[in-house]
């Protein structure tokens, strides 16, 4: 089952259900067989994505990950098992993927994706799938994909929510959403915030689906999928190229990969009472809103959610409309952002900080926590 040549009878039988799909057919299956995908991070997102890409008949899957398999990985990183504890994740991934598709070509990159090897690795592949768990690698993968003219699928999870970003060359990049790499305090890690393994499966599977669409030429525009597993919802949001983007804009300043650009930015030691922390509790938010000069409260839920319940005085700007309505958010005032449980609003808070809004904080737990802890008259849903 080499990636070259036509399909043999075994392959026609193996992929028969997929070949029947409109937009695939035998020609599409041959495109997948010839395709080369680089998976950055063989963890919670890279695991399901790699399995489904291998099962779909992608001919070459490169795996870039510098880590070894640990016990705490296993509840969500389904490429690995107890028998591979302590092994490099690249080796463990290769064993699992070879069992699923013995003809799969599996280049392994145990150093991971680095500033030193990115422009050697990325151009070898037709698509990059980024499941990295840190901002430095996410920005590196995106920048290298832009410079190499390759499509990229990015995924991330936080608690019970996830995000999938599909990036078509010339139609936006990760920096169009987040122009500047934030420091380590911007987002809680999985070990700090927790993550449900099945959410990784949902997001990783969707990443594989988006990758297949891009490889088959079916995805023509960049987009963001916002996934709320707890509510069973997925919202597609259009992503437009930012003309001022430092990587893919009209006058880009990033024209090569410089190691200094991608060194992880460590958070400075927090003060005892930071002026504008990334997240505040609903009790802190209630106290601030009751002050003589209250902050601006932005509700980034959807109109149907807002119709069910709301916090008095909040301005409704649904998450998907935030980029187009930045002028409505004051830069000279303290801003609080809330949603249902705090996942969407945390992403909006990150986005606003990346766009220069320094005095913005997320309301942890969202309106659901507000109802439970502040005002029981606010309906829960």
Phi then psi for 38, rounded to 5 degrees?
Answer: -100, 120
Selected catalytic residue, list 200, 248, 309, 339: 339
In Å, what is the CA distance from 163 to each residue of 54, 71, 200, 224, 344?
22, 25, 10, 7, 9
Helix 46-56 vs helix 89-100: crossing angle, to nearest 10: 30
Residue 309 is a catalytic residue: no
HEC per residue, 146-202: HHHCCCEEEEEEEECEEEEEEECCCCCCHHHHCCCCCCCCCCCCHHHHCECHHHHHH
For the record, the structure tokens of 323 come out as 């980029």
Residue 190 is a catalytic residue: yes
Residue with the two structure tokens 């909006």: 348
Find out whether 123 and 76 touch, Cβ atoms under 8 Å: no
**Strands 360-363, 335-338: parallel, antiparallel or unpaired by DSSP?**
parallel
Selected catalytic residue, list 176, 190, 245, 248: 190
Find out whether 357 and 335 touch, Cβ atoms under 8 Å: yes
For the record, the structure tokens of 268 come out as 């400075």
Q: Is 356 left (phi over 0), alpha (psi -120 to 50) or beta?
A: left
Report d(CA 276, CA 28) in Å as an integer. 51
Residue with the two structure tokens 């590196």: 140
- Among all residues, which ones are annotated catalytic? 190, 339
């Amino acid at each position: 089952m080499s990636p070259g040549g036509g399909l043999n009878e075994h392959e026609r039988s193996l992929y028969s259900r997929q070949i029947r799909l409109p937009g695939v057919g035998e020609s599409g299956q041959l495109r997948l067989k010839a395709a080369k995908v680089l998976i950055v991070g063989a963890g919670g997102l890279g695991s399901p994505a790699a399995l489904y890409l291998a099962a779909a008949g992608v001919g070459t899957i490169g795996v870039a990950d510098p880590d070894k398999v640990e016990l705490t990985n296993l509840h969500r990183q389904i490429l690995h098992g107890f028998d591979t504890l302590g092994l490099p994740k690249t080796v463990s991934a290769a064993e699992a993927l070879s069992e699923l598709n013995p003809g799969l070509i599996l280049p392994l990159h145990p150093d991971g994706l680095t500033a030193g090897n990115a422009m050697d690795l990325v151009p070898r592949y037709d698509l990059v799938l980024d499941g990295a768990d840190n901002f430095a690698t996410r920005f590196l993968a995106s920048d290298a994909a832009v410079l190499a003219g390759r499509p990229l699928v990015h995924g991330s999870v936080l608690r019970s929510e996830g995000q999938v970003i599909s990036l078509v060359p010339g139609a936006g990049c990760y920096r169009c959403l987040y122009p500047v790499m934030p420091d380590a305090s911007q987002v809680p890690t999985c070990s700090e915030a927790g993550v449900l393994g099945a959410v990784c499966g949902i997001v990783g599977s969707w990443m594989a689906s988006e990758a297949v669409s891009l490889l088959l030429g079916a995805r023509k525009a960049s987009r963001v999928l916002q996934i709320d597993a707890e509510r069973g919802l997925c919202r597609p949001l259009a992503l437009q190229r930012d003309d001022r983007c430092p990587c893919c804009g009209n006058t880009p300043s990033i024209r090569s990969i410089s190691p200094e650009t991608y060194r992880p930015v460590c958070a400075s030691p927090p003060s005892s009472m930071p002026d504008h922390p990334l997240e505040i509790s609903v009790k802190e938010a209630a106290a601030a809103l009751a002050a003589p000069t209250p902050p601006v409260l932005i509700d980034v839920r959807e109109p149907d959610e807002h119709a069910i319940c709301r916090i008095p005085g909040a301005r409704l700007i649904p998450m998907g409309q935030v980029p187009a309505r930045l002028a409505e958010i004051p830069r000279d005032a303290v801003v609080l952002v809330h949603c249902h449980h705090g996942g969407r609003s945390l992403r909006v808070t990150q986005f606003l900080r990346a766009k220069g809004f320094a005095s913005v904080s997320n309301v942890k737990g969202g309106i659901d926590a507000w109802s439970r802890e502040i005002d029981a008259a606010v309906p829960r849903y």
